[in-house]
Amino acid sequence: MTFLYITRHGETKWNLEGRFQGQQNSELTERGYRQANNLGQVIDEENIDLIISSPLRRARETAKAACGSRRIPIIILDSLKELSLGEWEGQKLNELKNSEAEQYHLFWNDPLRYKPRGGESFQAMIQRAGQGLTEILKLAQGKRVLVVTHGMTLKAILHHLTGKSFNEIISQPVLRQTSITKVRVSDIKAPIYQVDEIGGTKHLDSLSLHTAPVAVWEGQNND
């Protein structure tokens, strides 16, 4: 049996400013580092023996803070990167909602029809995330693995894990930073997935870190 504990990076400065990040980076906030540190509780309670992370700095810093002084290997996997947003990266959601209303609406409501300006299509990201899941399973066989990724990439992974349409997945709120989605995999060659929990925040309760402020990706709820 293989166990995956999939999470999203900690809060960043651009999250607080309401900016799209994509594959650009902004620094983790103090709250973001505290969220990441509290992932150490998951590592200890679930006996995590491998961490696999997106190469983007906010994810790598989350993985590093979660690991702390524990001697746990951290593997970087390029396919776990966030959706590339091209010219939208660094721009504020509320401004794009007004200036590019049609594409902004499609982004949140009919993503397979969204056309990026210089970025990555949802179709390409969904395919990449599926390849990433296959790579993770090769590395994770028989292990308990913490996977650190991003909001939209995590949605694509959930699409592959649950078999639900991506439109159905994207209509749900983006999972909180450093929340945990628990997955059991009973066969690697022909994987059978059992999703036991989506977006768990028990490990954040001690610092009330799963409450406000709201993350940038949850701007979808304003559309």
User: What pLDDT digit, counting tens, does each position of 101-131 carry?
Assistant: 999 999 999 999 999 999 999 999 999 999 9
Residue 221 lies in a domain: no
* H or E, element range at 108: helix 101-109
Confidence grade of residue 208 (pLDDT, cut at 50, 70, 90): low
- Residue type at position 110: D
| Number of folded domains that form the chain | 1
Q: How far apart are CA 143 and CA 146, in angstroms?
A: 10
204-211 contact pairs (CB < 8 A, 24+): 204/35, 204/38, 204/176, 204/178, 204/179, 206/38, 207/34, 207/38, 209/31, 209/34, 209/35, 209/38, 209/178, 210/176, 210/179
Confidence grade of residue 82 (pLDDT, cut at 50, 70, 90): very high
Q: Could you tell me the CATH number of the domain that includes residue 19?
A: 3.40.50.1240
Confidence grade of residue 188 (pLDDT, cut at 50, 70, 90): confident
Q: Tell me if the bond preceding 213 is cis, omega within 30° of 0.
A: yes
Mean pLDDT over each residue of the chain, to the nearest integer: 91
- Check pLDDT > 60 for residue 4: yes
Lowest mean pLDDT among 23-32, 105-114, 208-217: 208-217
Residue 223 lies in a domain: no
Count of Cβ atoms closer than 10 Å to residue 6 Cβ: 27
Q: Which of 92, 117, 120 is nearest to 16 (CA)?
A: 92
Residue 220 lies in a domain: no
- Check pLDDT > 60 for residue 213: no
Q: What is the pLDDT of residue 113?
A: 95
Lowest mean pLDDT among 32-46, 131-145, 158-172, 207-221: 207-221
Residue 202 lies in a domain: yes
* H or E, element range at 134: helix 122-140
Structural domain of residue 114, as residue ranges?
2-214
Residue 167 lies in a domain: yes
Q: What is the pLDDT of residue 189?
A: 77
- Check pLDDT > 90 for residue 60: yes
